[in-house]
């Protein structure tokens, strides 16, 4: 039998309210998704033959998180004895009264067309930080089934991101995310915050302590559960990176057209040299589809002999084509450091003839176009990318992880001879001139 804390009970009552749209925002493992799925099952049992959709950005994440984890847990703890039959091929679970709960991903074109071809009395957007507002609008248009005794309801949950995210515009500022005009029916948009301490009965003290010790931006998002200020003119945003995230299995070795290890060296004497920047070491690949993928972040603060060996190990582990390194810091010393670990590793030295922001901007455009994917979560790298704006880098210290990633992607996208970047800016200028 599930028991709820005071915060969770307040959120539960909100989910039963008269508003059409409800958002539960806050830190990780706070019970947001559990409460919404429970509310959906209650609604499904209340109205025969009603339809309910639970959607995430990625279909594999929807199945792993909802179909195989949260939904069975909700049924076991809150509805013991109630049968739930999966129709996996069609993408839904059936309840004894004929109601159906559909689960899918907005990235699965065939499945999403089948799901969004129906009308629902409930639509739930799970992990909405990853879902573009354009996709959310399409999903909300399917909130149209008439079911006796049930009002049509849309539920949204997420770990908060930047204050400009569409969920904060709707549920916080009560403004339309596109026009920024005040909502005509603001009472239809309600929000509650839940954080890990609200779920303390189900979390270990060690886990809570680990969240409290996260870097500031991650701590605010996953522990404090608050929307954060964003840098004006930022070249990257967390939700943009999130929306194109994938798993390492999504880019298997046979689908990698090229792989590089990029190194951004520093003057660190060793791991105890805390005043020095880290050595950025990033592994990236270009896929057969033309997109690029960040595969690993092996950055460290080590003496040259150690970071050289670390870069070479990554080179062999990922069967890379070469190691790309910035030549400005030491030039041939960088090549010698790497080849001291393995003299057969090909090293390509590239010179930083332009400022960091100028090198970063063409790569940020590729991210915005959905052409770069992070195969996992790389918190330091992503913090540094999001601290870049057209005015430069505003983060603490040096963007060592980001610099290495930019070098890798610059090489893979064919910008590293310099002419590619010049051509990028020429086309951008022509585009603006013709607008």
Which residues touch 327 (CB under 8 Å, ≥6 apart)?
334, 349, 350, 351
Query: Are 189 and 299 in a shared domain?
Result: no
Classify residue 51: in a domain, yes or no: yes
Q: Which of 224, 247, 262 is the last residue before a domain boundary?
A: 224
DSSP 21: E
Count the Cβ atoms, other than its own, within 10 Å of residue 216.
11
Task: Single out the residue of 57, 49, 84 nearest to residue 70, CA to CA.
Answer: 84
* Same domain for 369 and 346: yes
**Smallest Cα–Cα separation from 226: which of 276, 313, 163?**
163
Do both 216 and 85 map to the same domain?
yes
Give pLDDT, residue 170.
97
Query: How does DSSP assign 73-85, residue by residue?
Result: HHHHHHSTT---E
Are 258 and 343 within one domain? yes
pTM: 0.61
Residue pair 37/134 in contact by the 8 Å Cβ criterion: no
Closest CA to 281 of 325, 231, 347: 325
Whichever domain contains 295, its CATH number is 3.30.420.240
Residue 434: predicted pLDDT: 44
Task: Classify residue 229: in a domain, yes or no.
Answer: no
pLDDT number for residue 426: 47
Burial 180-198 (b: 16+ CB within 10 A, else e): eeebeeeeebbbbbbbbbb
Distances (CA, A) of 78 to 34, 43, 65, 82, 122: 10, 13, 18, 9, 19
369 part of a folded domain: yes
Domain that holds residue 401: 238-434
How confident is the model at residue 328, as a pLDDT?
64
Question: Which DSSP category does 234 fall into?
Answer: B
Token readout for 14 is 């909100």
CATH number at residue 19: 3.40.50.300
Q: Tell me the C-alpha to C-alpha distance, in Å, between residue 342 and each of 51, 197, 263, 312.
A: 60, 50, 15, 7
Q: What is the model's pLDDT at position 425?
A: 45
Residues 129, 214 within the same domain: yes
Distance CA 327, CA 333 (A): 9
Given 190, 224, 258, the domain boundary residue is 224
To the nearest 10 degrees (0 to 180), the angle between helices 332-341 and 304-317 is 60
Is the separation of the CB atoms in 366 and 424 below 8 Å?
no
Q: Are residues 268 and 200 in the same domain?
A: no
108 in a structural domain: yes
DSSP 8-state assignment for residue 220: I
- What is the structure's pLDDT at 40? 98
413 & 347 share domain: yes
Q: Strand 292-297 and strand 372-374: pairing?
A: parallel
Partnered with residue 349 across adjacent β-strands are 325
232 lies in some domain: no
Q: Which of 54, 62, 242 is nearest to 162 (CA)?
A: 242
Bridge partners, 22 (sequence order): 155, 190
Question: 368 near 428, Cβ under 8 Å?
Answer: no
Q: What is the pLDDT of residue 275?
A: 64
In terms of domains, do 146 and 52 share one?
A: yes
Residue 1 covered by a domain? no
Q: At 166, which helix (H) or strand (E)?
A: helix 166-171
- DSSP-derived secondary structure for 309-370: HHHHHHHHHTT-SEEEEESTTTTHHHHHHHHHH-TTS-EEEE---S-HHHHHHHHHHHHHTT
Three-class DSSP category at 404? helix
Does any domain span residue 390? yes
Q: Is the CB of residue 261 less than 8 Å from the CB of residue 282?
A: yes
Give the length of the chain.
Answer: 435
What six digits make up the tokens of 209?
Answer: 């302590």
Q: Are residues 286 and 380 in the same domain?
A: yes
How many domains, in total, are found in the chain?
A: 2
How far is Cα 176 from Cα 228, in angstroms, rounded to an integer? 19
What's the pLDDT at 335? Answer: 87
Sign of torsion over alpha carbons 320, 322, 324, 327: positive
pLDDT in tens, the chain (435 residues): 678 999 999 999 999 999 999 999 999 999 999 999 999 999 999 999 999 999 998 888 899 999 999 999 999 999 999 999 999 988 899 999 999 999 998 877 777 777 888 999 999 999 998 888 888 999 999 999 999 999 999 999 999 988 888 999 999 999 999 888 999 999 999 999 999 999 999 999 999 999 988 876 678 888 999 988 777 778 998 878 888 999 898 899 999 999 999 998 876 766 766 667 788 999 999 999 999 999 999 999 888 999 999 999 999 999 999 999 877 655 678 888 998 999 999 999 887 655 677 788 889 999 999 999 999 989 889 989 988 887 778 776 788 999 999 999 999 998 654 444 444 444 544 554 544
145, 290: one domain:
no
Calpha distance 63→77 (Å, rounded): 20
**Which CA distances in Å does 203 have to 197, 200, 207, 219?**
8, 5, 7, 17
- The answer on 248 and 218 residing in a single domain is no
Asked if residue 282 and residue 155 are part of one domain, the reply reads no
**Of 191, 224, 257, which one is at a domain's C-terminal end?**
224
φ/ψ of 340, rounded to 5, equals -70, -30
CA-to-CA separations, 253 to 248, 284, 310, in angstroms, rounded: 10, 12, 21
């Amino acid at each position: 039998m599930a028991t709820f804390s005071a915060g969770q009970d307040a959120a539960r009552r909100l989910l039963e309210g008269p508003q059409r749209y409800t958002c539960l925002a806050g830190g990780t493992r706070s019970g947001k998704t559990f409460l919404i799925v429970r509310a959906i099952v209650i609604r499904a049992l209340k109205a025969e033959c009603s339809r309910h959709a639970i959607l995430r950005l990625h279909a594999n994440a929807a199945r792993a998180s909802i179909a195989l984890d949260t939904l069975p847990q909700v049924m076991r703890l809150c509805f013991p004895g109630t049968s739930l039959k999966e129709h996996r091929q069609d993408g839904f679970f059936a309840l004894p009264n004929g109601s159906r709960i559909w689960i899918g991903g907005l990235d699965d074109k065939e499945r999403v067309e089948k799901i969004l071809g129906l009308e629902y009395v409930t639509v739930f957007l799970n992990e909405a930080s990853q879902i573009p507002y354009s996709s959310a609008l399409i999903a909300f248009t399917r909130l149209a089934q008439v079911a006796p005794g049930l009002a049509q309801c849309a539920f949204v949950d997420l770990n908060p991101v930047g204050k400009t995210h569409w969920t904060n515009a709707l549920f916080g500022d009560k403004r339309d995310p596109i026009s920024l005009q005040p909502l005509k029916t603001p009472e239809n948009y309600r929000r509650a915050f839940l954080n890990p301490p609200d779920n303390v009965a189900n979390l270990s003290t060690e886990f809570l302590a680990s969240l409290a010790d996260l870097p500031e931006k991650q701590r605010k998002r996953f522990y404090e559960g608050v929307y954060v200020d964003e840098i004006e003119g930022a070249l990257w945003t967390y939700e943009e990176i999130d929306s194109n995230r994938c798993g390492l299995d999504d880019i298997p070795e046979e689908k990698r057209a090229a792989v590089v290890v990029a190194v951004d060296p520093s003057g660190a004497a060793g791991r105890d040299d805390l005043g020095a920047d880290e050595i950025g070491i990033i592994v990236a690949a270009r896929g057969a589809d033309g997109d690029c993928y960040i595969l690993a972040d092996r950055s460290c603060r080590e003496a040259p002999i150690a970071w050289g060996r670390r870069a070479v190990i990554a080179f062999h582990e990922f069967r890379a084509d070469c190691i790309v390194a910035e030549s400005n810091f030491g030039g041939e010393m960088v090549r010698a450091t790497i080849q001291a670990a393995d003299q057969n590793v090909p090293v390509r030295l590239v010179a930083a003839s332009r400022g960091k922001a100028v090198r970063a901007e063409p790569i940020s455009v590729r991210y915005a176009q959905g052409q770069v994917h992070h195969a996992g979560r790389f918190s330091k790298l992503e913090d540094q990318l999001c601290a870049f704006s057209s005015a430069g880098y505003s983060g603490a210290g040096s963007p060592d992880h980001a610099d290495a990633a930019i070098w890798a992607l610059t090489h893979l996208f064919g910008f590293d001879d310099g002419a590619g970047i010049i051509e990028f800016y020429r086309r951008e200028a022509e585009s603006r001139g013709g607008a």
